[in-house]
């Protein structure tokens, strides 16, 4: 079972709670009704819990439930799994670290104000965008298939943690969280991102303006012999040379590429474990070793060094399309959020 599937609840909340972008900035700066700023905030009481998004009233208990649920998922995931999951950038990882370093129980929870605020921001955003989706006549929510995935996820979660979801209200809140998030993902895919396409002229123009960004770095091609023990490595090192390196690699190496004479690459710096970085300072035919790693003991010979080259537009095309797509997606997403903000009223005790 993969990490993503095993901890689908955590990953979903991780993305939802920390993908707080320009839409939160606009909500915060056009109303400034639920967050006073770090310099003024001292406790959870500084948050304004009286917030209505369209016809939906967000309650304090709802925010507290999502907060406690999120922290519980953090506590269920060990530190190694955090590092192997989707990475957070520096601006958001600190919040999770503050919560995950010292496990807490949902019954005796000392609130982290920054995380509390982010979860509250996400809840406002989710309710705002979901209500706006219901106004789009081209995207019907009457199709039962739209809810199949989230309901399956919900059933799995309830069965997995019976104690957490024993209460009907908790089950209902989880269903809303999962299904609203899933519907928003469907809408973004079908209505916001799907129409994005680029002409050859647009691709060519971007290539001309950013040509220096599309280069292939220096790469190396090496042969290596991997031995299980240092004693075996010393014996091989004593008799190996550029002429017999491939043959000895085939006979003695325990690495998967032994059958190909120990050949690896070409690869650029950082593509392989750090012990192979030494190859970038070597000359063709030069041998280095013995180098120890978690796999065993290595002997490396530089076969060939490939200089830095300028990529053609055809070679850079796929990367250019990804860059342009990301830029356009951000623009289209921002437009969508702004339309939602202009059509769905958000009110609180601070702007009434």
Q: What is the pLDDT of residue 315?
A: 92
Q: How far apart are the first and last CA of the chain?
A: 50
For the record, the structure tokens of 319 come out as 């990367």
266: preceding bond cis by omega (within 30 degrees): yes
Strand partners, 289: 299
pLDDT of residue 1: 37
Q: Of 72, 92, 328, give the one whose Cα is nearest residue 192.
A: 328
DSSP labels for 39-58?
TT--SGGGS---EEETTEEE
CB of 257 closer than 8 Å to CB of 245: no
Per the CB < 8 A criterion, the answer to whether 177 and 65 are in contact is: no
- Residue 191 has a pLDDT of 84
Task: Name the residue among 95, 132, 109 with its Cα closest to residue 18.
Answer: 95
Give one word for 216, left, alpha or beta, with left for phi > 0 and alpha for psi -120 to 50: beta
Taking the chain (352 residues) in runs of 10, the rounded mean pLDDT of each run is: 40 40 43 44 59 87 84 59 37 42 44 79 90 90 91 90 82 92 91 82 95 92 96 96 96 95 94 93 94 94 94 93 90 89 82 50
Tokens matching residue 264:
């690896």
Could you tell me the residue ranges of all domains in the chain? 3-196+330-348, 215-310
Can you list the positions of beta strands (E) in 115-199?
none
Assessment of whether the complete model's pTM goes beyond 0.75: no
For residue 189 the two structure tokens come to 């895919």
8-state DSSP, 291 = E
pLDDT of residue 351: 53
pLDDT at 154: 92
Give the residue among 312, 310, 290 at the shortest CA–CA distance from 301.
290
Q: What pLDDT, on the 0 to 100 scale, is given for residue 300?
A: 97
Distance CA(215)–CA(202), nearest Å, equals 19
Q: How far apart are CA 132 and CA 70, in angstroms?
A: 25
Residue 216 burial class via C-beta count within 10 angstroms: exposed 0-12, middle 13-18, buried 19 and up: middle
Q: Which CATH fold topology does 215-310 show? A: Chitinase A; domain 3 (3.10.50)
């Amino acid at each position: 079972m993969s990490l993503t599937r095993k901890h689908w609840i955590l990953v979903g909340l991780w993305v939802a709670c920390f993908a707080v972008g320009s839409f939160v900035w606009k909500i915060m700066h056009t109303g400034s009704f639920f967050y006073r700023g770090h310099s003024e905030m001292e406790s959870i009481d500084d948050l304004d819990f009286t917030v209505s998004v369209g016809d939906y009233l967000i309650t304090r208990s709802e925010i507290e439930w999502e907060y406690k649920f999120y922290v519980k998922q953090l506590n269920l995931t060990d530190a190694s799994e955090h590092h192997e999951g989707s990475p957070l950038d520096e601006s958001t990882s600190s919040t999770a670290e503050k919560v995950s370093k010292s496990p807490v129980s949902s019954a005796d929870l000392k609130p982290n104000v920054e995380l509390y605020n982010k979860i509250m921001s996400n809840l406002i955003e989710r309710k705002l965008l979901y209500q706006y989706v219901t106004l789009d006549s081209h995207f019907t929510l009457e199709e039962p298939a739209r809810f199949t995935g989230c309901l399956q996820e919900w059933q799995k979660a309830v069965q997995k943690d019976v104690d957490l979801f024993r209460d009907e209200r908790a089950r209902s809140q989880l269903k809303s969280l999962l299904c609203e998030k899933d519907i928003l993902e469907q809408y973004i895919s079908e209505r916001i991102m799907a129409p994005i396409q680029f002409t050859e002229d647009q691709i060519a123009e971007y290539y001309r303006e950013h040509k220096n960004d599309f280069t292939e770095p220096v790469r190396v091609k090496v042969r290596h012999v991997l031995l299980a023990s240092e004693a075996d490595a010393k014996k091989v090192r004593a008799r190996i040379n550029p002429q017999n390196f491939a043959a000895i690699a085939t006979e003695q190496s325990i690495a998967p590429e032994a059958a190909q004479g120990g050949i690896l690459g070409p690869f650029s710096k950082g593509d392989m474990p750090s012990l192979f970085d030494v190859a970038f300072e070597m000359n063709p035919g030069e041998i280095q070793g013995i180098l120890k790693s978690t796999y065993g003991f290595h002997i490396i010979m530089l076969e060939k060094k490939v200089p830095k080259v300028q990529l053609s537009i055809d070679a850079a095309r796929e990367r250019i399309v990804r860059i342009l797509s990301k830029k356009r997606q951000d623009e289209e997403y921002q437009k969508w959020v702004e339309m939602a903000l202009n059509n769905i009223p958000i009110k609180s005790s601070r702007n009434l």
